[in-house]
Structure 1
C-alpha cells in the first residue's frame, strides 16, 4: 500500500449512494478506504469493487476476523475475491488462526492487518496486557501490519518498537479524541478517520484539513 497522504477513510455509513459520494469528494486526500460491517451488510460485498473502481485506491475490509483457522481462511478468501486489497483481523484468537489469515493473504498477494488493541475505552478492560504479545505474533506470522489505537499514542510507540518496519494503521482520531499529528509522530504510518470526515458538511475540506495536520507532523 503506497503512502502519500497517510489518511485512510473509515466509511462507516450504510447507504451505497452516500458512500460513493463521500469517496468521490475525498479521494484526492486518501491513501485507502476502509469498509466494515455496516456498509458491507447493507450493500453487499459488491461495494468493495465499486469503491475501488471510483477511487483507484486500496479498499480494506474491516471484518475483525476472529474465528478458527479454517473459517478465517474462508472469510479472507471471500473478501479478497470481492476485491479487497487488505483485511483487518483479530490477533487474540491465537497464532494458528492468525497464520491462516497471513497464509491466505500471501496466496492472493494482498494485505492483512492484525489488531493489537482497539481504540475505545473498553479495549483496556481485558486485553491491554496482551497487546505486546499480539504485536510479536503479528511479526512471527508475517502480517502486513497491525492496528494500534490513535487514542493511546504511547501504545503506538511501544508497538512500533516491537514490529520494526511493519505497517501501523491507527483508528481513533477525531470523534474518539485521538490526534492525527500525535499518532503519526508516535510511529503510525496511517491514521484511520471516519465520522470527522463523513459527518462533515464538506467531507473533502475535512479530509484536506487532516492531511495538512499529518503533513505538519512529518
Structure 2
C-alpha cells in the first residue's frame, strides 16, 4: 500500500472552492483527497480538475443510492472525471451495484481514463447497533449486517468497501486481501471522536486490515494542519 502518508485520505469537507484551494495549498504533502457531497454540489467538476492538475488522487465520495438505471448514469458520468475511488451504497442492491461498476468503467474508457475502483458503503459510521435496530428496524447484529453488505458488494463485482475500522479485520478475513477497505472513523489518540461512533486510532486501523484511512478534522481543523498530518504519519510508522 505504500508509505503511511499515501494511506491517508484527507477530506475536503469545506463549503466551497476557495476554502478547498486553501487546504490544498496548506497541505501539499497530501497525495489523496476526498471530495464529498457539499463540495461537489457547490463546485462540481471544477475542483476535480484542480486536483488532477496537481497530480492528486481523488476519492469521489458521493454515496450513490438509487435504482439501477439512475446509478448507472451517475457512475458513468463520474467515471469520466478520472477519479480513483467512487462510492455507492451497498444497500442499493445487487442489480444497481453491478450497473454502477459497469457504467463507471464505460465512462472512464470514453474519456481515456483509468476506471475508478467502485467501493460500497456498508453502513455509515455514525450508525451504531442501537440505531440500526431501533431507528432503521434492521433486526440483525451490526457486524452481521456489515459483513453481508460487503459480501454483496464483492459478489456484484465491486472491489472494495467503506467500513468502520472496527469491522476491518472481519471483512479482511471474509473478503480477502484484494478487496480494499477504506475506513473513516479514524482518530488519533489526541483528537476527539466527533460524530464517529465506531472510531479507532490510525495505527490500530491499519493493523486491523484497513488499506486507506479517511482522516479529516484532526488534520484540517488543527492549528497547524501540516504538523498534524506529519504527526499521524509518524504514529503510523512512516
TM-score, normalised relative to structure 1: 0.88
What does 1:23-172 align with in structure 2 at a 5 Å threshold?
A: 23-30=24-31, 32-54=32-54, 56-107=55-106, 108=108, 109-122=115-128, 125-126=131-132, 128=142, 129-150=144-165, 153=166, 155-164=167-176, 165-172=178-185
Aligned length: 210
Which digits, 9 at most, give the CA deviation of each residue in 1:57-81, with x for residues without a partner?
2111111110011101111122222
Residues 43-95 of structure 1: CA deviation (Å, up to 9, x unaligned): 222211112212x1211111111001110111112222234222111001111
Query: Residue 69 and residue 3 in structure 1: after superposition, are their counterparts in 2 closer, same or farther (change >3 A)?
Result: farther
**Contact in 2 for aligned 1:49/1:83 (Cα 8 Å):** no
Contact 1:29 1:208 in 2 (8 A): no
SS in structure 2 of the partner of residue 168 of structure 1: strand
1: CA distance, partners of 2:99 / 2:9: 25
**Long gaps (5+) in structure 1:** none
The question of whether the paired residues in 1 share the 8 Å contact of 2:82 and 2:116 is answered with no
RMSD: 1.9
Shift of 1:123: 6.8
Match of 1:200 among 210, 218, 222: 222
Q: Show the counterpart of 2:203.
A: 181
TM-superposition CA deviations, 1:121-143 (whole Å, max 9, x none): 44762362421111112221221
Matched residue of 1:120: which SS? coil
Contact 2:181 2:210 in 1 (8 A): yes
Higher RCO (C-alpha under 8 Å, 6+ residues apart): 1
Between the aligned partners of 2:210 and 2:44, the Cα distance in structure 1 is 31
Hey, what's the Cα distance between the residues in 2 that align with 1:99 and 1:75?
13
Residue segments in structure 2 that go unaligned for 5+ positions in a row: 109-114, 133-137, 188-192
Moved over 6 A (4+): none
TM-score, reference length from structure 2: 0.81
CA distance in 2 between counterparts of 1:166 and 1:124 reads 28
CA contact (8 A) 2:101 2:157 kept: yes
Matched-pair contact (CA < 8 Å) for 2:79–2:105: no
